[in-house]
Amino acid sequence: MNVPGLLALRGQPPRVTLSEAEDVARTLYGLTARAAVLDGERDRNFRLDTSDGSRLVLKFIDPEADDIVVAGQSAALIHIAEQNPQLRVPRVIRTQSAAEPGVVELGARGDRNTPLSCRVRLVTYLPGRLIQNRSVGLPNGQLLRSTGHEIAQLDRALAGFFHPALAQPIVWDVRHAQSLLPVLPQVRSATVQRLLGNALDPIEQLLVRLRGLRSQAIHGDCHGRNLIVSDEGDACVGIIDLGDMIHAPLVLEIAVTMAEFLVDGVASIDAIPQLLAGYTSAQPLDHADINVLYDLITTRIAISVLIQTWRERNAGVSTGANASADSNGLEETFAKALDALASRGRTRLIEQWLDAAGLAVPAHGPTAAMSHGPTAAMSHGPATAAGAEAAAAGDGVTVGRGSAPHADLPPGDLLRRRRTALGANAELSYDRPLHLVRGDGVWVYTADGERLLDVYNNVPHVGHAHPVVVAAIAEQAKRIASNTRYLDERIVDYVERLTATLPPDLDACLFVNSGSEANDIAWRIAKSHTGHDGALVMTHAYHGITDAVTALSPAICAKVPPHVEQLAAPVAARHAASPTAGYTPSATAGRAPDATAAATQGASPNGVTVEADAAAAEADVATAIARLATRGFKPAALMIDSALTSTGIYDPSPSWIAPIAAAVRKAGALIIGDEVQFGLGRSGSNFWGFARRGYYPDIVTLGKPVGNGYPLGVVITRRAILEKFQRDTGFFSTFGGNPVAGAAGLAVLDVLEREQLVDNARTTGSYFISKLRNLAAEFEAVRDVRGCGLMIGVEVTDRVLTKRLVNGLRDRGVLIGSEGPLGNVLKLRPPMPFRPEHADVVVEALTAVLSAANS
């Protein structure tokens, strides 16, 4: 691997004894002194206490160090002393014969017993402690400002300095980051690998911008181990070790300190602007400098991990100051710093830093631009959901590594163009709309580099841009994207895999491109199979956008047509406990009874017993069927979303649906299980939602999650029913079931199984629900927490509060939605790799927004 400067890291300080150091002090410098060992990564350093009471540092310079580099340091120290005698950097002391550096012959050493000719340098000692080693707490604002100021003074002194040594290739220089990319696959943790990949993504664009910036000699390594703090702990009183000086963009100087302080925990992300303010008070920076600061910092952090990894993989290489920490811990530390930056987001931080640097924040910044546009995320319709999901999934898949982020795109302009292109009423989620350009697992990233936790989108079922799914789609797209009129293994494999998880007689599939289409076809099949044309749906149900299916969707249908009757939501389910039984794939294959085998007994906390709920459901369905009859309709189907999502997210016991299913069958109707929301294990207890509910569908419809973002809709039913429909209609969908869709569907099933995501939905879901219930106990505004697995509803007092909470969470980097006829249910429905630590992030943010709403 050709990494400039990396080999220099192999160097070991020369071995020198205390008495040799004292000898050299005497012979070369005419000093009588006692030597004590000091730390040093590449040089061997000694503190000298001289007989006249002064303190100095004697350095035996790394024998591998280039002569030109050693000469460069001498020249720089002399230059700084000349330009700013007040500046607290080490002063060079020449040898008695006025040499700098001096040269000594050390006695025989090493395997070959050869004498070592070694360059030495004597410098003044700077009293105080290293910032890194301060024993009390984090630095206060005053110390951070003073540190920034001191570094800026150094840069001012260096402004006119030039030396050929400044061109030395240093591996820590962010401009060489690309040469470290081969180390990336060696990073232990896949999560850290992904974070680093993201951090290094903008590198090409960054390099172009850096080449346009004001550059000069900089120290290049002002971290907490090279900065000295006064005994009182409130001022920076020295900067040491100019071994990594380079000619580079000036802003890189403070970027390095900011990055290192964040990683080492010397300063929090909230405190770091003080450092910058201190720096710019003595050395102003301009907009162009601050605009690259975020990327410089993340790149510096990323290369630190890569260098660390490289060192570990190359036995015998010193791991420097971090030698004692274990590498996993280190990776975690670096990842935390990257996380903290990403959570705040590039735009917000750059705004803060511009402010700290005393520069104006541009008026076309995101805050101004985002006040435009409708606040459609809060319009409580599933159509809103579809819009946001399309945005997230679509962008997430198409924007890959190396693509330039659209950081410079004025959001206001895009909003304007969008309004013209898509129509002013095209729904847009959140008061401050999101311009998503990438997704990764449970995270989404905006064009501004802001990272948000996705607790809303169920389309990326196994995680945004899951590499296995993306690869499967790309592989097949590279070969052929034909249609089901040709033979192809993929779609047949897919049907076989899918039907193996279903009751045995649900054994054949039709393919379309969306949940709406699947429901449309299911509805057509039900009508032709039964000869009836009435429908039963849940109150405020949503099943899609075609003409026929909109009629079955009271959530979006202004006037429910006469052939449709709505059934009431379960009541006891508001507080039904979430079953915790383990998920076993085989249990899902069996026929789910239209019965009450798994019924939860007893009363719920709201006093409504499940028996009373079942009795109410029985009466309700009877009345609905009777009402249809009075209008001349017999029911062809009950269409039901097993998660009861748009109805308000409920998790009723099977005893609730049993009388409904019985009445529907008695009336000669089919049951269409809309598994668009709840299918593929979202409940955590069953692979299919109907199995959890305890009913047995005649037709199952699938959409959204099955292709993880690739359009795929499926209608599953009994072969006899399907064949009759094909005969009667000559059904064919051009895109439906094409081999690329088949590849996507198969990959989703693979990942679900391999990553045990259904189990995860159960355990994380239970954890999440219990944490949310604690919130319900704390905040009166939280009325109910219900659902199961990773389909959770949090009912709050009203629509207005819901809107505040949803937008408040968005501002804190957490995306959720809202649901229910009253628009007062927070919808938490993340991708399936959502883990307890993500739940903690949500609960913390929700606590904060609820508290803010209270005050």
State which residue, 199 or 555, has the beta carbon closest to ligand PMP. 555
Query: With CB under 6 A as the contact rule, which of the stretches 51-59, 494-502, 543-551, 739-747 interacts with ligand PMP?
Result: 543-551
Contacts (CB under 6 A) with ligand PMP, residues 15-34: none
Show the site string, 452-491: x = touches ligand PMP by CB under 6 A, - = not: ----------------------------------------
110-126: b (≥16 Cβ within 10 Å) or e? eeeeeebebbbbbbbbb
Given the complex with ligand PMP, which of 303 and 706 has the nearer CB atom?
706
Q: Whole-angstrom Cα distance, residue 675 to residue 656? A: 18
Q: What's the DSSP call for residue 173?
A: S
Closer Cβ to ligand PMP, 490 or 543, answer by number? 543
Q: Which is nearer to ligand PMP, 62 or 674 (CB)?
A: 674
- Residue in 73, 514, 647, 653 binding ligand PMP, rule: CB under 6 A: 514
Nearest CA among 334, 357, 332 for reference residue 282: 357
Report the nearest approach of ligand PMP to the CB of residue 493 (Å).
23
CB of 645 to ligand PMP, least distance (A): 6
DSSP 162-222: --GGGG---TTSGGGGGGGGGGGGG-S-HHHHHHHHHHHTTHHHHHHHHHTS-EEEE----
Least CB distance to ligand PMP at residue 653 (A): 21
Tokens 């002393």 map to which residue? 81
**Rama region for 528: left / alpha / beta (φ>0; ψ in -120 to 50; rest):** alpha
Min. distance of Cβ 821 from ligand PMP in angstroms?
15
Question: CB of residue 643 vs ligand PMP: minimum separation in angstroms?
Answer: 7
At closest approach, how far in Å is the CB of 674 from ligand PMP?
5
Indicate whether 552 belongs to the interface with ligand PMP (CB under 6 A). Answer: no
Of 676, 748, 806, 826, the residue at the interface with ligand PMP (CB under 6 A) is 676
* Distance between CA atoms of residues 608 and 652, nearest Å: 12
Q: Give helix then strand counts, H and E, for the chain.
A: 27, 26
- Please say which residue, 13 or 382, places its beta carbon nearer to ligand PMP: 382
Distance CA 625, CA 617 (A): 12
Confirm or reject binding of residue 674 to ligand PMP (CB under 6 A).
Answer: yes
Binding flag, residue 818, ligand PMP (CB under 6 A): no
In whole angstroms, how close is the CB of 519 to ligand PMP at the nearest point? 6
Q: How far apart are the first and last CA of the chain?
A: 58
Q: What letter represents residue 764's amino acid? A: T
SS3 content of the chain, % helix, strand, coil (to 5): 45, 15, 40
Rounded Cα distance between 783 and 794, Å, is 7
> Is 515 or 694 the residue whose CB approaches ligand PMP more closely?
515
Task: Name the β-bridge partners of 216.
Answer: 248
**Cβ neighbours of residue 168 under 8 Å, at least 6 residues apart?**
5, 66, 68, 69, 72, 246
**What is the maximum span of the chain, computed from C-alpha positions, in angstroms?**
115
**Residue 773 · residue 842 · CB < 8 Å:** no
- Please say which residue, 163 or 704, places its beta carbon nearer to ligand PMP: 704
**Minimum Å distance from CB 590 to ligand PMP?**
24
> Binding to ligand PMP by residue 382, rule CB under 6 A?
yes
Instruction: Provide the minimum distance between the beta carbon of 382 and ligand PMP in the complex, in angstroms, as a whole number.
Output: 4
Instruction: Pick the closer one to ligand PMP by CB: 346 or 704.
Output: 704
Q: DSSP characters for 147-164?
A: HHHHHHHHHHHHTT---G
Closer to ligand PMP by Cβ: residue 382 or 570: 382
If you count them, how many residues does the chain have? 855
| Residue 168 exposure: Cα atoms within 13 Å on the Cβ side | 29
* Min separation Cβ 795 and ligand PMP, Å: 19
The one among 429, 446, 484, 677 contacting ligand PMP by CB under 6 A? 677
CA distance 612 to 599: 13
* Dist CA 243 CA 240 (whole Å): 9
Q: Which stretch binds ligand PMP (CB under 6 A): 159-167, 260-268, 515-523, 526-534?
A: 515-523
Q: Rule CB under 6 A: is residue 502 a binding residue for ligand PMP?
A: no
By CB under 6 A, tell whether 795 contacts ligand PMP. Answer: no
Q: Pick the piece of the chain touching ligand PMP (CB under 6 A) from 510-518, 575-583, 619-627, 778-786.
A: 510-518
Please tell me the distance from the alpha carbon of residue 232 to that of residue 240, in angstroms, as a whole number.
19
State the Cα–Cα distance between residues 496 and 509, nearest whole angstrom: 10
652 near ligand PMP (CB under 6 A): no
Which pair of structure tokens corresponds to residue 332?
Answer: 């975690």
Least distance to ligand PMP, CB of residue 297, Å: 39
In the complex, what is the shortest distance from the CB of residue 538 to ligand PMP, in angstroms, rounded to a whole number? 10
**Position with the least CB separation from ligand PMP:** 515
Interacting residues with ligand PMP between 632 and 651 (CB under 6 A):
641, 645
**Given 543, 762, 771, 812, the residue binding ligand PMP (CB under 6 A):** 543
* Cβ-contact 404, 449 below 8 angstroms: no
Chosen residue from 40, 449, 515, 705 binding ligand PMP by CB under 6 A: 515
Please select the residue that binds ligand PMP; options are 544, 679, 707, 820, rule is CB under 6 A. 544
| Stretch of residues binding ligand PMP (CB under 6 A), selected from 131-139, 512-520, 608-616, 809-817 | 512-520
CB of 403 to ligand PMP, least distance (A): 27
| 704 near ligand PMP, judged by CB under 6 A | yes
Residue 542 within binding range of ligand PMP, rule CB under 6 A: yes
Handedness of CA 293, 299, 302, 306 (dihedral sign): negative
Among 72, 396, 697, 703, binds ligand PMP (CB under 6 A): 703
Residues 212-231 binding ligand PMP (CB under 6 A) are none
Q: Of 289 and 641, which has the nearer Cβ to ligand PMP?
A: 641
Give exposure, 648-665, as e/b (b: 16+ Cβ within 10 Å). Answer: bbbbbbbbbbbbbbebbb
Evaluate whether 456 touches 393 at the Cβ level (below 8 Å): no
Three-state DSSP state, 67 = helix
Q: Tell me how far, at minimum, the Cβ of 591 lies from ligand PMP, in Å.
A: 23
Q: How far apart are CA 589 and CA 584, in angstroms?
A: 10
Residue 196 is classified by DSSP as H
Q: How many residues of this chain bind ligand PMP (CB under 6 A)? A: 18
CA atoms within a 13 Å half-sphere pointing along the CA-CB vector of 499: 19
Determine the interface stretch with ligand PMP among 187-195, 282-290, 674-682, 780-788 (rule: CB under 6 A).
674-682
| Interface mask toward ligand PMP for 519-538; x: CB under 6 A | x-------------------
**Cα gap 818→827, rounded to integer Å:** 5
Instruction: Give CA–CA dist 243/119, Å, rounded.
Output: 14
| Long-range CB contacts (within 8 A, 24+) of 167-170 | 167/246, 167/247, 168/5, 168/66, 168/68, 168/69, 168/72, 168/246, 169/4, 169/5, 170/4, 170/5, 170/8, 170/220, 170/244, 170/246
Q: Are 566 and 741 in contact (CB under 8 A)?
A: no
Q: Which is nearer to ligand PMP, 515 or 820 (CB)?
A: 515
∠ Cα 41 46 47 (to 5°): 125
| CB-CB contact of 273 with 285 (8 Å) | no
Q: Which stretch binds ligand PMP (CB under 6 A): 381-389, 663-671, 758-766, 782-790?
A: 381-389
- C-beta of 157 vs 672, nearer to ligand PMP: 672
Region binding ligand PMP by CB under 6 A among candidate stretches 23-31, 194-202, 559-567, 670-678: 670-678
Residues that bind ligand PMP (CB under 6 A): 382, 385-386, 514-516, 519, 542-545, 641, 645, 674, 676-677, 703-704
